[in-house]
Chain A
């Protein structure tokens, strides 16, 4: 029998927040990738961006419990903000990134006002509606956004004044990975803080959370705005590292894909977004290699089977044979 002393209790509480060596290894390998396999640096860049986007959706879906089909609204808003900033104001990537995150946070705050009320369906509609409105706006305000041609010719200045974005994509990949890691560390720390614990409480039992003095709406709004700004960052990275922004960044496909990634990787444990992004990309490449046109069919089938079988079971293959 252990003596349940003060230190023991404290250690119990702090254990989940301690970094494991596996995590160090994971991130170490990830950062080496663009240099070890330079031919795939662009793909690593893309995955890092998508992983950041998925991480931001995890905050919304896994922690705030909001089913959102319009998360791409923030991705797109961030992309266009960064692209326009680089074109018309200043080509410095980091400043542009901050700008994009700031504007997307404002958009997130605006959305938060609406989505905290009403039912799941209302929320779904409002999030979806927001994405669609932005898509229409981007399409129609073509003098600003380039319309359906997209915003092209976004030339970025050197990162930190020294590192040019090279054609191989190694600078881009390292840049994106750094932002991803920084965001990840921030979110991870946040999740294990008292604030994070109250959000988990809201997710588990909203009624009781209110009954212990937690201002549920304020908490959810904070989470949503944070998630929006991270999605905006992902969008900014996308525009900055590829040199253009196009309308499909707002498309329903994007929102649906990222939700799928997160579901594959597992909702609510932060690594789900990162691992899901990798798994999804691999799945996509394999399946698209076999049947390029009918990717949507197989994804659809996968979704149906996944849900019928049970989402948690995906990560536990030994449960597949139990019915």
Chain B
């Protein structure tokens, strides 16, 4: 049972890193970006290509995935996304679905449609058993938890203690007022989008072994990211963190204890939560 909890936490933290960019973008730019999963997929495939064709070690690939997808995200924000902010939500949905479709097709064309196998470095394979096997910790999952926890703490620190963080928080609260206070809202948007996409890319690279990696990744997992954002809310990062953990544990536990129902558990849980609290579970009072 503890093992399930452990696996669920690992899965949840991974989902959080993947989805946090989406949550902040939604809260900041009020933009529904259904192509977010494509950045994650890009990070995963980049890692695979670097490792298999260029022999780059796995641990080096991770920061590279972050930087590369972050960079691509910055370019796309400036060129393609920016004109979309003022458009109605339907347009944003259509636009980002279009991007998602394009990326899925492109990867299918260049890399083929089969599952990609990730070769983990030796030290990350293996498993530690505690308490007579009551808790089995895969080393890779331990690694994931460690990296994601570190990233979460870093994010919290940036948000709470740095100038950029306070500018970001002000822009999320009310971007017009923030602009009026002299905050360069455009650059806040650009940096946030880039970091969010970078984190998604990193998550994709990290998660390829656990979640699987094939061209349908963006569409398959987009639902999960959206669940994290819808349930966790867009006005903090602890909200999506808790939502992601809840989702991760529920999914792993559900698939173990009631395999017949599979993902049904997760979707129903989401539906019930949204019925009870349409604004998400963890919304700060006040503001819009």
Q: Direct contact between A and B in the complex (CB less than 8 angstroms)?
A: yes
Residues of A at under 8 Å CB distance from B? 61, 67, 69, 113-114, 117-122, 124-126, 128-130, 132-133, 136-137, 139-140, 252, 256, 259-260, 263, 267, 293-294, 296-297, 299-304, 306-308, 311
Q: How far is the CB of B196 from chain A (nearest CB, A)?
A: 16
Across the interface, which residues of A come within 8 angstroms of B83, CB to CB? 308
Q: Would you call B271 and A126 a contact (CB within 8 A)?
A: yes
Q: Is B106 an interface residue (CB 8 A)?
A: yes
Across the interface, which residues of A come within 8 angstroms of B153, CB to CB? none
Query: Which residue among B99, B105, B219, B261 has the maximum number of chain A CB atoms within 10 Å of its CB?
Result: B105
Across the interface, which residues of B come within 8 angstroms of A113, CB to CB? 275
Q: Would you call B93 and A124 a contact (CB within 8 A)?
A: yes
Q: A120-B89, A256-B97, A307-B84 given. 17 additional CB < 8 A pairs?
A: A114-B275, A119-B278, A121-B234, A124-B93, A125-B270, A125-B274, A130-B271, A133-B264, A137-B264, A259-B94, A296-B104, A299-B98, A303-B98, A304-B95, A304-B102, A307-B98, A308-B95
- Summarize A's interface: helix, strand, loop or mixed: helix
Q: Would you call B90 and A121 a contact (CB within 8 A)?
A: no
Across the interface, which residues of A come within 8 angstroms of B95, CB to CB? 303-304, 307-308
Across the interface, which residues of B come within 8 angstroms of A126, CB to CB? 271, 274
Q: Would you call B264 and A307 a contact (CB within 8 A)?
A: no
Partner of B226, one of A128, A263, A304: A128
Q: Which 10 A-B pairs have the closest CB atoms?
A: A118-B278, A303-B98, A300-B101, A297-B105, A300-B102, A304-B98, A117-B278, A125-B230, A307-B95, A136-B264
Q: Chain B residue with minimal CB distance to A253?
A: B219
> Can you name 11 A-B pairs with beta carbons within 8 Å?
A69-B93, A114-B271, A120-B32, A121-B26, A121-B32, A128-B226, A129-B274, A139-B262, A294-B109, A296-B104, A307-B91
Q: How far is the CB of B172 from chain A (nearest CB, A)?
A: 15
Q: Is B279 an interface residue (CB 8 A)?
A: yes
Q: Would you call A129 and B270 a contact (CB within 8 A)?
A: yes
Q: Would you call B274 and A303 a contact (CB within 8 A)?
A: no
Q: Is B29 an interface residue (CB 8 A)?
A: no
Across the interface, which residues of A come within 8 angstroms of B98, CB to CB? 299-304, 306-307
Across the interface, which residues of A come within 8 angstroms of B264, CB to CB? 133, 136-137, 140
Residues of B at under 8 Å CB distance from A? 26, 32, 80, 83-84, 87, 89-95, 97-106, 108-109, 219, 223, 226-227, 229-230, 234, 260-264, 267-268, 270-271, 274-275, 278-280
Q: How far is the CB of B111 from chain A (nearest CB, A)?
A: 14
Q: How far is the CB of A72 from chain B (nearest CB, A)?
A: 14
Partner of B89, one of A67, A129, A130, A259: A67
Q: Chain B residue with minimal CB distance to A125?
A: B230
Q: Chain B residue with minimal CB distance to A267?
A: B90
Whether A296 touches B274, Cβ cut-off 8 Å, given contacts A132-B263, A303-B95, A307-B98, is no
Q: How far is the CB of B149 from chain A (nearest CB, A)?
A: 27
Q: How far is the CB of B20 from chain A (nearest CB, A)?
A: 16
Q: How far is the CB of B102 from chain A (nearest CB, A)?
A: 4
Q: Would you call B94 and A296 a contact (CB within 8 A)?
A: no
Q: Chain B residue with minimal CB distance to A61?
A: B90
Across the interface, which residues of B come within 8 angstroms of A302, CB to CB? 98
Q: How far is the CB of B229 from chain A (nearest CB, A)?
A: 7
Q: How far is the CB of A285 from chain B (nearest CB, A)?
A: 18
Q: Would you call B271 and A121 a contact (CB within 8 A)?
A: no
Q: Chain B residue with minimal CB distance to A117?
A: B278
Partner of A296, one of B92, B101, B261, B262: B101
Q: Chain B residue with minimal CB distance to A133?
A: B267
Across the interface, which residues of A come within 8 angstroms of B87, CB to CB? 307
Across the interface, which residues of B come within 8 angstroms of A293, CB to CB? 108-109
The docked-state distance in angstroms from the alpha carbon of A304 to that of B105 is 14
Q: Would you call A297 and B102 a contact (CB within 8 A)?
A: yes
Q: Would you call A136 and B93 a contact (CB within 8 A)?
A: no
Q: Would you call B32 and A136 a contact (CB within 8 A)?
A: no
Q: Chain A residue with minimal CB distance to B87?
A: A307
The docked-state distance in angstroms from the alpha carbon of A124 to that of B101 is 18
Q: Chain A residue with minimal CB distance to B278?
A: A118
The docked-state distance in angstroms from the alpha carbon of A113 to that of B104 is 35
Across the interface, which residues of A come within 8 angstroms of B90, CB to CB? 61, 67, 263, 267
Q: Would you call A136 and B274 a contact (CB within 8 A)?
A: no
Q: How far is the CB of B174 from chain A (nearest CB, A)?
A: 16
Q: Would you call A67 and B274 a contact (CB within 8 A)?
A: no
Whether A296 touches B263, Cβ cut-off 8 Å, given contacts A129-B270, A256-B97, A308-B95, is no
The docked-state distance in angstroms from the alpha carbon of A238 to that of B32 is 32
Across the interface, which residues of A come within 8 angstroms of B84, CB to CB? 307-308
The docked-state distance in angstroms from the alpha carbon of A297 to that of B108 is 10
Q: Chain B residue with minimal CB distance to A136?
A: B264
Across the interface, which residues of A come within 8 angstroms of B227, CB to CB? 125, 129
Q: How far is the CB of A310 from chain B (nearest CB, A)?
A: 9
Whether A128 touches B223, Cβ cut-off 8 Å, given contacts A133-B271, A259-B94, is yes
Q: Would you call A311 and B219 a contact (CB within 8 A)?
A: no
Q: Would you call B97 and A300 a contact (CB within 8 A)?
A: yes
Q: Chain A residue with minimal CB distance to B267?
A: A133
Across the interface, which residues of A come within 8 angstroms of B268, CB to CB? 133
Q: How far is the CB of A168 from chain B (nearest CB, A)?
A: 35
Query: Which residue among B95, B100, B101, B219 has the maximum number of chain A CB atoms within 10 Å of its CB?
Result: B101
